[in-house]
Amino acid sequence: MTGWNRDGRRHTDFPAAVRRQAQRELPAQCAECGATNCPLRLDHIRNTARGGNNTIDNAQWLCDTCHDRKTRREAAEGQAIRTAKRTRQPEPHPGLT
């Protein structure tokens, strides 16, 4: 399934068949902190924006807390890459210092 987030970025999600497979085959606990007694969401191990697939091999359960943290981390990394490209200055000439 392919859709668009409200912010306009391309967003893909796991098909229902993969979600059912994950419920059967993946351990029902957060892959990061190991929590079991909380709502879990199916997460892309490799973000689809970075070429991850909507397959069971790229799926893991995360609790809301870890999912939010991962989402923020990925957003921050994307921002850092763009910022670095935009603000990168040439190295000063060694003879000038």
Residues that bind Zn ion (CB under 5 A): 30, 32-33, 35, 63, 66
Give CA–CA dist 44/31, Å, rounded: 11
Residue among 33 and 80 whose Cβ is closer to Zn ion: 33
Minimal distance in Å, beta carbon 31 to Zn ion? 8
Identify which of 68, 57, 67 has the alpha carbon closest to the alpha carbon of residue 30.
67
Residue among 65 and 83 whose Cβ is closer to Zn ion: 65
Contact present, 94 and 81 (Cβ < 8 Å): no
Identify which of 42, 40, 47 has the alpha carbon closest to the alpha carbon of residue 60.
42
Minimal distance in Å, beta carbon 35 to Zn ion? 5
Residue among 13 and 32 whose Cβ is closer to Zn ion: 32
Minimal distance in Å, beta carbon 62 to Zn ion? 6
